[in-house]
């Protein structure tokens, strides 16, 4: 809906406000998004009890599971890039860093004991506390990493559209040197090559 409505982020609250303030604009976006076709298909369909139960599940727990799968998909992309670059790594571990400090990360290269590179990968489709909580996880890694370590972050997801302030904080972390680089999903192969170069040179 945000894409159909044009520039700017749209939360559920703002979308509800449009129903009163500018219903024609909202209706136009719904039409462009294909809602009439979906309604027509639903009206013509012969619904069974199991169909209704499945749809209800998708709207509750199913959506949460789908979000988790998207996040895990990003981790799989990173893992594939590291494997392609032929670098040793361990995944989903607690690494040991500065002065024995520990923190959880998605990938540690080459291992969890004083790694050369730590990587965190998170994909977000939702908004709210999960994104803010992620900032705390990132800060824990940044505080635990030693001076010789590199910290790379891979993130993607439309959830950031409505949390631009949190995204700016991540960029500030990079400017401050707490994060060495932030990668989008499309650059994971570049990430793999960077990690390989670090291991070869240091």
What is the pLDDT, as a whole number, of residue 44? 92
pLDDT tens per residue, range 93-152: 999 888 888 999 999 999 998 899 999 988 765 445 556 677 888 889 998 988 889 999
Where do you find CATH 3.40.1350 in the chain?
70-201
* CA dist., res. 163 & res. 160, Å (int): 5
Q: Tokens representing 125?
A: 């489709």
For β-strands 150-156 and 181-183, DSSP reports them as: parallel
Q: What is the pTM of this model?
A: 0.65
pLDDT tens per residue, range 9-59: 567 788 888 899 999 999 999 999 899 999 999 899 898 999 888 888 877
Phi, psi (rounded to 5 degrees) for 189: -70, -35
More confident residue, 159 or 120: 120
pLDDT tens per residue, range 69-89: 454 678 899 999 999 999 999
In order of 9, 95, 115, 156, 182, the CA distances from 187 in angstroms are 24, 24, 22, 11, 10
What is the pLDDT, as a whole number, of residue 30? 92
3-state secondary structure of 96: strand
Q: What is the CATH number of domain 70-201?
A: 3.40.1350
DSSP string across 148-167: T-EEEEEEE-GGGGG-HHHH
């Amino acid at each position: 809906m945000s894409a159909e409505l044009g520039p700017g982020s749209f939360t559920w609250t703002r979308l509800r406000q449009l129903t009163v303030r500018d219903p024609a604009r909202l209706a136009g976006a719904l039409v462009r998004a294909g809602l009439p076709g979906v309604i027509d298909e639903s009206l013509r369909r012969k619904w069974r009890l199991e169909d209704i139960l499945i749809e209800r599940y998708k709207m509750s727990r199913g959506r949460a599971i789908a979000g988790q799968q998207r996040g895990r998909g990003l981790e799989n992309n990173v893992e594939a890039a590291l494997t392609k670059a032929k670098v040793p790594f361990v995944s989903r571990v607690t690494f040991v860093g500065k002065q024995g400090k520990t923190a959880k990360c998605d990938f540690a290269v080459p291992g969890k004991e004083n790694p050369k590179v730590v990587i965190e990968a998170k994909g977000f489709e939702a908004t709210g506390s999960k994104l803010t909580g992620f900032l705390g996880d990132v800060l824990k890694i940044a505080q635990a990493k030693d001076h010789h370590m590199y910290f790379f972050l891979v993130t993607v997801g439309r959830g950031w559209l409505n949390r631009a302030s949190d995204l700016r904080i991540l960029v500030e972390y990079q400017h401050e040197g707490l994060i060495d680089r932030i990668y989008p999903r499309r650059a994971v192969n570049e990430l793999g090559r960077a990690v390989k170069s670090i291991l070869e040179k240091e």
